[in-house]
Amino acid sequence: MPLSYDLVFASSNRHKYSEARQILGSLGIKLGFFRCRLEELQSDSLAKIAAGKAKDAFSRCKRPVIVEDAGLFIDSLGGFPGPYSSYVQDTIGNRGILKLVGSKRSARFVSVVTYCDGRLLKSFDASVSGHISRRQSGSGWGYDPIFVGSDSETFARSRLKNESSHRYRALKKFSSWYLRTQKSTC
Ligand code: ITT
């Protein structure tokens, strides 16, 4: 039976997959889901972590795959939680972050998307600037209720998240490269 998707997104996080599927779908790429807990290197570089995850994902699913490593970098906290965003969300959560942030509230979300097909390993990174709200607003996942983007709404309330986020920007770069490569090999 022919596959109904072009490549897979490997992750334990269904929210990331569902956004990536919507974003890439709008750009003409069908994305399957390979749900798994990937090996994460201890590193302060999202790019190194994403490369490690991509190799691990390919060795398990044996087909062209993309993974993403993302993080929230808060300026007044020296970039914390950054590469530890997942752990910090699971431990102190948004309430803990709101207690830590001082008067300077600027922050940025960063995404690194890495593609691996066993031969090629290629990364695409992007970020979006914003700030941390004073209280939680909306019922999105992860840091969405406390991150305010360019439309002055938290990502949890914004209708523009999937057209402006760090994930959208990194996937857009990936899709331009991927579609070009597919064309030249057909
Ligand atoms: P995988 O490694 O299995 O893909 P993960 O959730 O651990 O899943 P990351 O290592 O990329 O993924 O974790 C980044 C964390 O940052 C994520 O768990 C969220 O808490 C947070 N995060 C990243 N992008 C986000 C977004 O668009 N909205 C809200 N929170 C986000």
- Would you call 69 a catalytic residue per the annotation? yes
pLDDT for the residue numbered 185 = 67
Q: Ligand 1 pocket: which of 8, 72, 92 to mutate (most atoms <8 Å of CB)?
A: 72
Distance 120 CA to ligand 1 centre (A): 24
> How far away, in angstroms, is 111 Cα from ligand 1 center?
9
**With the C-alpha atoms ordered 130, 132, 133, 139, is the resulting torsion angle positive or negative?**
positive
- Helix crossing, 14-26 with 166-185: angle to 10°? 50
Rounded Cα distance between 113 and 54, Å, is 9
Q: Are the C-beta atoms of 165 and 153 separated by less than 8 Å?
A: no
- Burial class for 108, CB neighbours closer than 10 Å (0-12, 13-18, 19+): middle
pLDDT in tens, 17-73: 999 999 999 999 999 999 999 998 999 999 999 999 999 999 999 999 999 999 999
Q: How far is the CA of 12 from the centre of ligand 1 (A)?
A: 9
